[in-house]
Amino acid sequence: MKKRRVATGAVLVALTALVVLATSRANSQDTGATVKPVRAEKLANAPGQTLTVVTVSYAPGAKSTVHRHAGSVFAYVLSGAIRSENSVTGPVKVYKAGESFFEPAQSRHLVSENASATEPATMLVIFVAEDGAQLTTFDK
């Protein structure tokens, strides 16, 4: 039992390191966005898939460049308002605190920004993607 806990702990540490690496790369492509890892877990009921949770905080007026995600993404706005447009799910829309949106795997996230020039905004983002996948890839 102890060996199993140690192995599970090692896997979680490795996954967290991957999330930090992926999110630090994401931060370098953003203007005013801060990505913080919350948790990563391999999904026992979906072998080869990992559920990863992060928070994304945008300073007033901040935005991300066009990008895509390796897996499916569910986003829940915790505070403020997020303006978002996805290549599959439809035209630009503003989501306020308490609202959520979904991004299908590999769809292009055309707009992702704070809808306010004066107030910060934060969302909880949940990825389901292949184990070890780079979660965010920015267009060149």
Q: What is the pLDDT of residue 140?
A: 84
Given CATH 2.60.120.10, say whether it is the number of domain 2-138. yes
**Whole-model pTM over 0.85:** no
Domain boundaries, the chain: 2-138
Mean pLDDT calculated for residue range 97-118 = 95
What pLDDT, in 10s, does the model give residues 125-139?
999 999 999 999 998
DSSP string, 25-55: HHHHHEEEEEEEEEEEEE-TTSTTEEEEEEE
Q: What is the pLDDT of residue 120?
A: 97
**Token digits of residue 135:** 């979660």
Q: How many whole angstroms separate alpha carbon 130 and alpha carbon 22?
A: 14
For the purposes of burial, counting CB atoms within 10 Å of the CB of 72, is it exposed (0-12), middle (13-18) or buried (19 or more)?
Answer: middle
Q: How many whole angstroms separate alpha carbon 65 and alpha carbon 13?
A: 29
pLDDT at 19 > cutoff 70: no
**Token digits of residue 69:** 């995600």
